[in-house]
Amino acid sequence: MRLKIKWNDDRVRGATTAILLIGRERLARGETDDLIQASLAEYRDDPEGYKQNKAAWPDALELGPLTRPANVAYYKNLIAAIDVLLQKLADGKRQFNSLLELDNTLVASLKHVGSR
């Protein structure tokens, strides 16, 4: 049986939220290299640790611990890019056959945000 992950599946929203939350923490630590891919890898490698951290972190739309103007701008652009991507996925009724395919799509679609 093939795995189908639809555009409106909680796993899509969960992955994008993880990118924002983990990415914000990485930005605050100054870890900007491959931010999207590294955030997704951390999320997939330790989902329980992510859940514990998520309970303590501010909402994904808040700037949280970000203080550097460049990081604040990056994070705001990332929020906007994720909103646009989620709308495109919904409009196209996009489906994914695996979590790897979903993650690859997210990385490919959001990697331009890191270009400074």
pLDDT at site 2: 65
pLDDT tier at 32 (50, 70, 90 boundaries)? confident
- Lowest-pLDDT choice from 9-18, 39-48, 55-64: 55-64
Give the 3-state secondary structure of the chain. Answer: CCCCEECCCHHHHHHHHHHHHHHHHHHHCCCCCCHHHHHHHHHHHCHHHHHHHHHHCCCCCCCCCCCCHHHHHHHHHHHHHHHHHHHHHHHCCCEECCHHHHHHHHHHHHHHHHCC
pLDDT at site 116: 47
pTM given for the model: 0.91
Check pLDDT > 60 for residue 115: no
The whole-angstrom separation of Cα 52 and Cα 57 is 9
In the numeric block, the tokens 């490698």 are attached to: 45
Check pLDDT > 80 for residue 114: no
pLDDT at site 11: 94
Across the chain, mean pLDDT equals: 92
Tally of CB atoms within 10 A around 31 = 13
pLDDT 10s digits, 50-107: 999 998 899 999 998 899 999 999 999 999 999 999 999 999 999 999 999 999 999 9
